[in-house]
Amino acid sequence: MSHAAARTVVNPTGGTASGSFDAAENSAPFAGLLESVTIDPVVDFSFDGAIRREDIAAAWTWVCRDLAPEICSGGNVPADTLARATPELLTRWAAAQELADQSEDQARRLRAQLGGEGHLEHLPKVYTALQHVGLLGKGQALGRVINDLGEDEKIITAIRSLPLKSATATALFMTALMGQVANPARLMIAVSKIAGGASELRLRRAGFAPTIEAILVQAQNQLHLINPLGTFADVDLTCRGLERYHRLSRSVAGYIELVQRGEWGRALAELTKAASRRLEPRLHQVCPEIAASFREQSGDASVAFEQRLAAISGTYLLAAVRDCRDSLAVNATFDQAWHQSGQLIDSCLNRGLEQMRAGRKDPAAMLRLDTAAKLSEIRFGPEYAERFRKTMDNARRQG
């Protein structure tokens, strides 16, 4: 699977301020220019390098309806057009923010236009991100460059060359960069060498807090992809999101000496719990779905198809969880599902072979056996599945 591709952009779903204009329905807020620092919050932690999607949507609605409707063209504005209009937009924005800072009445009005106190509180961060939108693009570009650097020393040189001064701008830059880094562990090794150690205190003193926080932000942004419930859920997207989450999480938990009860450790623990809560209900379903796919069916063929699809999807997810279990808290549930799934698949394979040798080769029985062969490839590996297929071919000839 491609780790670089794991960062998936979703459609804007944030709420908007009161009124009839809904910019979120017309266009991606700010023409998608802030997508690289947008977060879909699942757990409750906040870092300077990320902005909630709902806050960006609220700010965009306010800009299009109240601040600069002639610039936004009803919310549907190309990125290059918005980029050219950004200086004028920022000038008006700064003036409106200054008025709100000076007058409680103006602050109350702006709060109402945005749709709440929370959106007003985060408005300056949206402003800073738009102000440094060119820097976000450079961060993404550098992240892709780091993927192609073969030596840690080159990564160290690239990090040391970063011309960043503003704390908020640095945090936003690192979030954009980390969204493109395929192997965050290599980056953590490099920053640890620069800091002279991998302890949380050393990394903070060396100025690398935004780097670690960007990793945690990107890890959280994978959680909305880990949504495996439903027969037709996109299991490939779920597995890629889980794999990406694992890489990001392990680059912190496995490479940093975290302070006990520190901010990073608490955030990591919350991420682990959130990812596990999303996966555990689906893990409980895997073995019943495998068993159902092996039962003899009568009636609607679509039911049998859905059962086979659910069994295959669940087994793929089970294999992905096995590879990522160090970043999860599902050991008991996983161990039980892993053991029982192996028994179910092995039992079906043996029963199918006995039926073939006895001369039973009806289409339904053969389909169940093919399903078991596919599941064995996922659960036990391709070599096991290949040996079984050879045994099955021999049984066909003998039956």
Q: List pLDDT tens digits, range 163-213.
A: 666 788 899 999 999 999 999 999 999 999 999 999 999 999 998 999 999
**Residue 335 pLDDT > 70:** yes
In a domain, 115, yes or no: yes
Mean pLDDT of 252-271: 93
Same structural domain, 52 and 23: yes
> Which pLDDT value is given to residue 97?
94
Confidence of residue 300 (pLDDT cuts 50, 70, 90): low
Q: Do 267 and 39 contact (CB within 8 A), yes or no?
A: no
Residue 94 lies in a domain: yes
Residue 232 within any structural domain of the chain? no
- Interval 243-253 mean pLDDT: 97
Say if residue 173 is in the same domain as residue 152: yes
Q: Quote the pLDDT of residue 23.
A: 44
pLDDT confidence band for 24 (50 / 70 / 90): very low
Confidence of residue 13 (pLDDT cuts 50, 70, 90): very low
pLDDT in tens, 118-138: 899 999 999 999 999 999 999
- Write out the residue range of the structural domain in which residue 167 sits: 139-221
* 329 within domain boundaries: yes
Mean pLDDT across 351-376:
80
Query: Per-residue pLDDT averaged across 77-101, rounded?
Result: 93
Query: For residues 392 and 373, is the Cβ–Cβ distance under 8 A?
Result: yes
Cα–Cα distance, 351 to 296 (Å, whole number): 13
Boundary residue ending a domain (97, 131, 165): 131
Instruction: Report the percentage of the chain scoring pLDDT > 70.
Output: 87
pLDDT above 60 (res 20):
no
38 pairs with which residues across the strands?
Answer: 51
CA gap 337, 290 in Å, rounded: 11
Which residue's structure tokens are 């079984």?
A: 388
Please compute the mean of the pLDDT values over residues 230-236 and round it to a whole number: 76
61 and 15, same structural domain?
yes
- Return contacts of 20-25, CB within 8 angstroms, 24+ apart: 21/61, 21/64, 21/65, 21/74, 21/75, 22/61, 22/75, 23/57, 23/60, 23/61, 23/63, 23/64, 23/65, 23/72, 23/74, 23/75, 24/57, 24/60, 24/61, 24/75, 25/75
Please indicate, yes or no, if residue 257 is contained in any of the structural domains: no
Residue 261 exposure: Cα atoms within 13 Å on the Cβ side = 0
168 and 126 together in one domain: no
Q: Residue 88 has which token pair?
A: 């004028």
Q: Please indicate, yes or no, if residue 258 is contained in any of the structural domains.
A: no
CA distance 286 to 340: 9
Average pLDDT, the chain: 85
Total number of domains in the chain: 3
% of the chain surpassing 90 pLDDT:
58
Distances (CA, A) of 148 to 8, 152, 182, 186, 220: 21, 11, 10, 12, 25
Q: What is the mean pLDDT of residues 14-20?
A: 34
Instruction: Average the pLDDT over 347-366 and give the result.
Output: 78
pLDDT reading at 103 higher than 80: yes
pLDDT of residue 337: 97
Rounded mean pLDDT, 304-333: 93
Alpha carbon separation from 336 to 95, 331, 377 (Å, rounded): 61, 9, 19
Mean pLDDT of 93-99: 95
In this structure, the answer to whether residues 148 and 115 fall within a common structural domain is no
Given a cut of 50, whether residue 19 has pLDDT beyond it is: no
Q: Note the pLDDT of residue 299.
A: 58
- Pick the range with the lowest mean pLDDT from 125-139, 150-164, 232-246, 338-352: 150-164
- Give burial (CB, 10 Å; 0-12/13-18/19+) of 295: exposed
Residues 110 and 19 placed together within one structural domain of the fold: yes
Residues belonging to the chain: 399
Which of 131, 158, 185 is a domain's end point? 131
- DSSP 3-state assignment of 38? strand
